[in-house]
Every structure is written in C-alpha cells, then in structure tokens.
Amino acid sequence: MTRIGFFTRLLDDAGPAERYRIATEQIVTAERHGFDSAWVAQHHFHAAEGGLPSPFVFLAHAAASTSRIRLGTAVVTLPLEDPVRVAEDAVVLDLLSGGRAELGLGSGSTPASFLAFGERSEDRARVFSEKVDELVAALAGGALGDDANRLQPPGRDLLGHVWQATFSATGGTRAGRAGHGLMLSRTQPRPADAPRASIAELQQPIVDAYLASLPHGVPPRILASRTLFVADSREEARRHAEVGLRRAAAGFARTGQPPFGDSLDELIASYDTHVGTVDEVIESLSADTVAAQASEVAFQVHSVDPPHELVLRSIELIAREVAPALGWGSAAPTGAGVAHAASAR
C-alpha cells in the first residue's frame, strides 16, 4: 500500500520560533490522523525558500512530541555539509526517535548559498556523488581517516533509510545503483520541447531509470512529493491558491519555470498543484500515474501556503477522505491524543 507523508519547508507567515512551533503542531496532527511520515527541508539564508537550516535539531524536537510517525530530511544539502557529521547527526536522531529516522539527501538548488560554505554550485553534482559515498561508508562502519575511527554510535541501521533527490534520469540511475530510495519533487521545469508536459510525464523517465538500475533483490522505494491543499469549499481553496500561487510565480519564473499563463487555472497547472474540495483533489491525484507507482506520497501545501488552521484541516481531510479513496495510507490513527515518545519506550 502507498504510504502517506506530510512535508513542510516551514514557510508559514510568522517569525522563526513560531514557524517551528507551527511545524511541530502540524507534524503532531499528521501523526494523530495516521500519516506514516513527516519530512522537513533544509535551506540556508533565504527565508522565502525555507525556514530551517538545521533539520536534525528540529526533528529531534519533533521526535519528543511524537511516538510513531517516521521523521525524515527532504533534503539535507549534502555538498554544503561534512558527510561524517551528517552521518553522526542522523544516527543520534534515529536513536532519540526510537528508530524513526529517514535520511534524504540532495545536491542543492540555490547557487548563492554555496559561496558561504566554500563550494561552487557548478561542482555540486560531483561533490554530491563523492559525499554520498563517504556518508554511506561511514554508516557502514568503515574507517574514518584512521583505522581506529569508526562511527559511534554505529549507523548500520540507517543504511536502508537513505534517499536521493533528483530531477533527472541520471540521478535516478545513481540512486538505483546505490540501492537508495528515490525522491521526486512536487514540480519541476518543463523542457522547451514539452512546455505543458505533466509532472508524471516528466518524472516517469526518472522512475524508469531508477527501477532499471536497482540491484537484484533490493525493493524499490519511491517518494513522490506533491502539492495538495484540501478545503471544505471550492471557493475557500481557490481563494488561498490565488494568493499563494501568484506570490510564488515570480520566484518560479526566475528559476526557469514561468507559468503557462496568468489565469488561476493556468497557475495551478503550471506548478502541479492539487487544490479544491475532497472530490476535486481525488480526481486530479487519480490522474498522476507516477504518484500511483510511488511507495510513498508526501503532501505539502507550498506554494498555496494557507493559514495554519487550514493546513491542519487539510491534513485531516487528506487522512480521512482523500487517501482512503485512492487506496493510500497504511498507519492507523493514534486517537485523540499523542503519547510522548519517552513514555512510549
């Protein structure tokens, strides 16, 4: 069965501390309604792109407020990190959360951020590949500079929970050969020869390359991120989509993804947004053949970014009505309250 996840870049219209409080409440709510996982993105310096530079610190905090939901990075920008330190932080998170950590890795997409870390954006693919190998070697118990240096605590339990994010079939091949999970974006730029291609059409070659490259006997792990905002009325959903997508369109255009046109429906299509009532989003998600192939679909409200209380309502509607209608979701809701992680162990 396809699992369901909640994903946030912590972009709520609030100060940093309040963003962290809101995100924690959203993750707790997702667990209460039976979501299988929660994912956070790492971003440096640019608050409009994301509000969290230190995902492991935040996820350790979220672990203390939850007991079952898996907690993942989507993603750590590995070229800007020391791979041994990433391995150490991931292992500590896994232990503190009772074995619930998922380690998603990516090469990064904001060129200016690389300068602060002494790296060049142009080198990110090569550096990412090298650092993935170093991180995996550390988790596997390999020597770290000296034969006496081994990861402590050990990290072997995390080897089956590493993911690679990519926009390309080449990246799908790389993730498959490594036996890692494949992480797919909620939207991505269209090629010049297919300006109105669907997200499924863009991502199917990545999935195919990944599946073709997996070692024999390694089960596929495919996480498809999707933008989804469900509301009780069509008018409410579209009102917030109009504000959020128009605000986001300028940023998308700067990164090579201009909208198809200026109407709300064109903005929704341009940025692969599922928005509306329960019936409307069930219909639009049903057409996404890549999501249907995924082992997990992670839902985010960006770039609609409605108010917090409506995000909580959307989480509830996804779990109670949308996911069951699609045959998605595997975890049973935990009831009205969520046990503290410490009391669950």
Q: What is the pLDDT of residue 336?
A: 38
Tokens of 66: 């939850």
Q: Which residues pair with 299 in a beta bridge?
A: 6, 226
pTM of the model: 0.94
What share of the chain has pLDDT > 70, as a percent?
A: 96
Q: What is the pLDDT of residue 100?
A: 98
Q: What is the pLDDT of residue 338?
A: 36
Peptide bond into 16 cis (omega under 30): no
Q: Which residues pair with 229 in a beta bridge?
A: 275
CB-based burial label for 15 (10 Å; 0-12, 13-18, 19+): exposed
Buried b (16+ CB within 10 A) or exposed e, 176-214: bebbbbbbbbbbbebeeeeeeebbbebbeebbebbeebb
Q: What is the DSSP letter of 2?
A: B
CA distance 128 to 137: 14
DSSP assignment of 251-293: HHHHTT---S-SSHHHHHHHTTEEEESHHHHHHHHHT-HHHHH
DSSP assignment of 74-88: EEEEGGGS-HHHHHH
What share of the chain has pLDDT > 90, as a percent?
A: 89
Q: What is the pLDDT of residue 2?
A: 96
Q: What is the pLDDT of residue 49?
A: 86
Peptide bond into 207 cis (omega under 30): no
Residues 6+ apart with CB under 8 A from 134: 83, 84
Low-confidence ranges of the chain (pLDDT < 70): 331-345
